[in-house]
Amino acid sequence: MTIEKPPAASMRGDDPVLGIEGLQVDVRTPERGWRRVVRDFDLELQAGEITALVGESGSGKTMIGRAILGLLPPVAEVRGGDIRFGDTALVGAGEAQLRRLRGREIGMVFQEPMVSLNPALRVGAQMTEALRLHHGVSAGQARSQCLAMLERVRISDPVACFNAWPHQFSGGMRQRIMLASVLVMRPRLLIADEPTTALDAIVQKEVMDIMVSLSRDTSTAILLVSHDLSMVAHYADNVIVLRKGETIESGRCTDILLSPQHEYTRTLLGALPSRTTTAAPPSADARPLVEVQSLRVEFTRKAVLFWRKPTIVRAVEDADFSIREHETLAVVGESGSGKTTIGRALMRLTETQAGTIRFDAEEITGLDGAALKRHRSRAQMVFQDPYSSLDPRMNLGDIVAEGLRNLPGLSKVERKQRACEMLAEVGLPGDYADRHPHELSGGQRQRVCIARAIVSRPRFVVADEPVSALDVTIQKQVLDLLETLQTRFGFTCLFISHDLGVVEQIADRVLVMYRGRILESGSRDDIYDRPLHPYTRRLLQATPRIMRTESGGYRLHEHEALPREAPPGYRHYNHGSIPGVPLTPEPPLMIENSPGHLVACVPT
């Protein structure tokens, strides 16, 4: 499939909006003095074009965006090179001169929508600020311009939004407000620093679509800073690949990302998760290890006023599923879908309110004391955040050995011995056992977490977003390790993730969750190739992926499965805001559409 993009608004050879030549940025570190984080960086950006800076963490991409505006953090400094915005040289420009450009000519959208709006000022006050400063319009004019812009970023009630406080909005809404307040100035250049990284896939697509279409209208050039290659391939015209501050490759997006020349770019693309065709499909008659029936998990949130009743939030409602021995079942969904709660319920880290969980035919919801201890020696967990899941005061050997503490008949020496063997197994041999977590990188920490989980040879492992905090190349290594270990030790795995790409690589079967309900379940191929529920389709459409072609190149795969009817006699279940599907308040039934492929429906 080819990518369709409107031609860039201006022809090459015109005066560029932004030109950067030989930019050098240094950062002062307390231990080693000045360290170069951006080296000899060149860039030319024409009006209406989208150029992306891609790279893993530490590539210096964020520093470049900030250097343009003269808003580097206090520890960083531009040490050489030129930044020209139109006719103005930005390096060495005075504060007053920069201030005239900031906001008016160059806008910036930040990564974290939760902290980029001032919590103490109403949305309207923050939006009109720049308009009134730079264009000197009256309060009334500013207000009407902002309201118009809020409408264009598809905020349903612009007046209410204008008068509201930032904390009353979700992350996606705040990012739209940010976009509106930046684009209302009609800047010539928009710097978007990971603008959608903190958002769920569907919201991410909406925000990106709005951003791109609005800036095409105003022929605003966009400098898109991102780590997400697929997203960049989908939206950008040009791309610059960075690594440790150095430019690896630059050029048209289609050239670079779909037929990479440089080895590093190839490694990056090669590390993107992909469906492994070799995986044998799980035999349908394998014995289920975990069986969950009508599971309900509720959380009580205390009311602000103590005499009010606490509100009850149903995190998981009426979940039915089973996990067969030796298979990997993935749970996908956006934040708040209840996927993590399911994993925690299986580990008995969360109390359940109704339903049964049977592990190896034994009911575990009521276990306590020694029985619970035994369950936890058979079932283990790998956590999401590699920075908070290891006790900073213990060495790796002790951390892993703790997983064996509650196995009977092991001496301290034997435990340590087995811990060291397991560390070697996950690729941390020798003296790693004596090191402490702070000496490790994120990927290495996650290896330790895996070692701790499987050192007791559990039959079942819950992996809760184990790779989502990692860079793409590290992510691949950890996923590969997990697969190798699963083959070797034969554990059953519940894999929780929001990332459809990762799930496609590792899962045998998939559960799709939305707001506490399972909407669809089936084999990986059922879900990815023949999705039934409209939500599953939306999720797949919102996740463009770069796929390897048979010829060794790459193509951008955008999901285009046709909408499919619910099984005869039923309609698709919808309890939330899934567009295009009528709301169905009655409880759903899981209807089997084809063997093993179930979808949430209600009878017509």
Per CB under 8 A, residues contacting another protein are 69, 71, 74, 99-104, 106-108, 110-112, 115-121, 129-130, 133-134, 165, 167-168, 178, 304-307, 347, 349, 372-374, 376-377, 380-381, 383-385, 388-393, 402-403, 405-406, 449, 452, 456
Do residues 433 and 397 make contact, with C-beta atoms less than 8 angstroms apart?
yes
**Nearest-approach distance from CB 73 to another protein, in angstroms:** 9
Nearer to another protein, 121 or 286 (CB): 121
Residue whose token pair is 């400098």: 223
- DSSP, res 353: S
Shortest spacing between CB 307 and another protein, in angstroms: 8
CA–CA distances in Å: residue 402 to residues 138, 272, 348, 370? 66, 34, 19, 17
CA–CA distance, 183 with 179 (Å, rounded to integer):
6
Q: Least Å distance between CB 381 and another protein?
A: 5
Q: Residue 346 or 598: which CB sits closer to another protein?
A: 346
**What is the distance between the alpha carbons of residues 233 and 227, in angstroms, rounded to a whole number?**
11
CA 103 to chain centre: 28
Give the whole-angstrom CA distance, residue 546 versus residue 257.
9
Minimal distance in Å, beta carbon 72 to another protein?
A: 10
Least Cβ distance, residue 367 to another protein (angstroms)? 12
Sequence-ordered list of residues with C-beta below 8 angstroms from that of 551, at least 6 positions apart, any chain:
none
213: buried, middle or exposed (CB in 10 Å: 19+, 13-18, 0-12)? exposed
Place of tokens 């034969």: 490
Q: How far is the CB of 102 from another protein (least distance, A)?
A: 4
Q: How far apart are CA 89 and CA 159, in angstroms?
A: 40
Minimum Å gap between C-beta 375 and another protein is 8
* Closer residue to another protein (CB): 366 or 603: 366
Query: Residue 550 Cβ, how far from another protein at the closest point, in Å?
Result: 42
Q: Which is nearer to another protein, 135 or 548 (CB)?
A: 135
33 or 307: whose CB is closer to another protein?
Answer: 307
Counting Cβ atoms within 10 Å, is residue 560 exposed (0-12), middle (13-18) or buried (19+)?
Answer: exposed
Give the residue with the Cβ less far from another protein, 113 or 273. 113
Among 555, 474, 497, smallest CA distance to 57 is for 474
**Whole-angstrom distance, CA of residue 20 vs CA of residue 84:** 6
CB 339, min distance to another protein, A: 16
Query: Please, which residue, 377 or 541, has the CB nearer to another protein?
Result: 377
Q: Output 187 or 531, the one with its CB closest to another protein.
A: 187
CA triplet 106, 111, 115: central angle to 5 degrees? Answer: 100
> Length of the chain in residues, anyone?
604
Q: What would you measure as the largest C-alpha separation in the chain, in angstroms?
A: 80
As measured in angstroms, the least distance from the Cβ of 402 to another protein is: 5
The 10 Å CB-count burial string (b at 16+, else e) for 237-259 is bbbbbbbebbbbbbeebbebbbb
The amino acid occupying position 187 is P
Q: Are strands 238-243 and 18-29 parallel, antiparallel or unpaired?
A: unpaired
Of the candidates 568, 569, 596, 564, which has an alpha carbon nearest to the alpha carbon of residue 581?
A: 564
Minimum separation from the CB atom of position 112 to another protein (A): 6
Pairing of strands 509-514, 492-497: unpaired
Which residue number, 121 or 589, has a Cβ lying nearer to another protein? 121
Q: Tell me the C-alpha distance between 409 and 87, whole Å.
A: 77
Instruction: Name which of 386 and 588 has its Cβ closer to another protein.
Output: 386
Q: Which is nearer to another protein, 88 or 549 (CB)?
A: 88
Give Rg (Cα) of the chain. 26
Query: Least CB distance from residue 86 to another protein, whole Å?
Result: 16
Between 114 and 424, whose beta carbon lies closer to another protein? 114
